[in-house]
Amino acid sequence: MPKYYFAVASQKFFLEEEPIEEVLREKTYYYSTIQKPIDFWLVLNPKFLDKPEISKLKDKIKQPAAAIISTNPTFINWIKLRIGYVLTGQVEETDLKNLLAEAA
């Protein structure tokens, strides 16, 4: 089963207090220059936080939450070091669509 890595924080933190849009835009531009496919996504109110093995993190984050998900653990670690005040983890998921789903 594929592993995905994530950094999660409140939407307010990611979207208003930190320049995450700029960081992701720069990473997207860099990937395009080296012709690498995008391996990260920003998900608002991620449904995967309700999984039993991850739900304890949800209690530590002001809601609504947002997550940056990637197949690259080094990128998620870099996000944690660059931005701070995020919680990180990993999740196994067979269907990327399920992982990127927003909670109702």
Q: What is the pLDDT of residues 19-39, one digit of tens each?
A: 899 999 999 999 999 999 999
Q: What torsion do the CA atoms of 32, 38, 44, 47 make, to the nearest 10 degrees?
A: 180
Mean pLDDT across 41-52: 92
Domains, the chain, in order of start with CATH, read 3-94 (3.30.70.1860)
Mean pLDDT across 85-100: 90
Residue 40 has pLDDT above 90, yes or no: yes
Residues 20, 29: Cα–Cα separation, whole Å: 14
> What are the distances in angstroms from CA 94 to CA 3, 90, 99?
9, 13, 9
Residues 36, 103: Cα–Cα separation, whole Å: 30
